[in-house]
Amino acid sequence: MISLDLKLQSLTSKDLSAILELDQACFGGLWTMEGYQRELDSPNSDLLGLFSPISRTKLLGMGCFWSILEEAHITILAVHPQYHRQGLGQVLLYSLLKTASDRGLERATLEVRASNLAAISLYQKFGFKTAGRRRRYYQDNGEDALILWRSDLQQPQFQATLADWYTKVSQQLSKSAWQLS
C-alpha cells in the first residue's frame, strides 16, 4: 500500500486563510483572523498544523498551546471533519505534548465540553486526568467544562512515553495510509 506523507509544521501568517477555513469547518468560526494573527505573533503561543500531501494550502488539522509559567495551556485541537478517525488528532496531541516537553514545560492543561466524549477519550489516551469542572462555562448552551491535566512532562520516563506514543501514532496513521514525513 502506498502511504501519503503528512507534513507537520509550525503555522505562519501565510497559512491564515487555511487556518480560518479549518476553524470554520471545525468550529463554525471560533477565532477571528486577528485572533489567529495574535497567536502567530505571540512568542508564548505554539500553533502547529498538519498539511495534506496533495496541497500545501490544505490544512487537515491544527493544535495550539500557550506557555504560561511551567504550564502548556492547550487552546485548540481540531481535525477537519472529513478526516476524523484516521489518527490525525493523535498526531497533533502527541506533537503538542512533545513540543511542550521540549520547551521545558512541566504539565499540560485544557478545558473540554463535558459532552465531547471523542476529545475526552483522546486526551485520556495521552494520560490526561480530570481535575475539576467549571459549571456552565460555555455561554452558547450553558454546558460545563471539564478541566484536564497531564503532568510529569519533565520526568525522565516521559521520553520513553513519547517514543512509545510515536510508535502507536505511526501505526494508527499507517492504517489510513498516512505517514509523517
Contact call for residues 60 and 80 (beta carbons, < 8 A): yes
Contact window for ligand COA (CB under 6 A) among 45-53, 117-125, 131-139, 155-163? 117-125
Amino acid found at 104: G
168 lies in the site for ligand COA, by CB under 6 A: no
86 lies in the site for ligand COA, by CB under 6 A: yes
Contact window for ligand COA (CB under 6 A) among 41-49, 86-94, 96-104, 133-141? 86-94
84 lies in the site for ligand COA, by CB under 6 A: yes
Q: Tell me which residue of 84, 82, 110, 85 sits closest to 96, measured CA to CA.
A: 110
Catalytic residues: 111, 123
CB of 170 to ligand COA, least distance (A): 12
49 lies in the site for ligand COA, by CB under 6 A: no
For the chain, how big is the Rg over CA atoms in Å?
Answer: 16
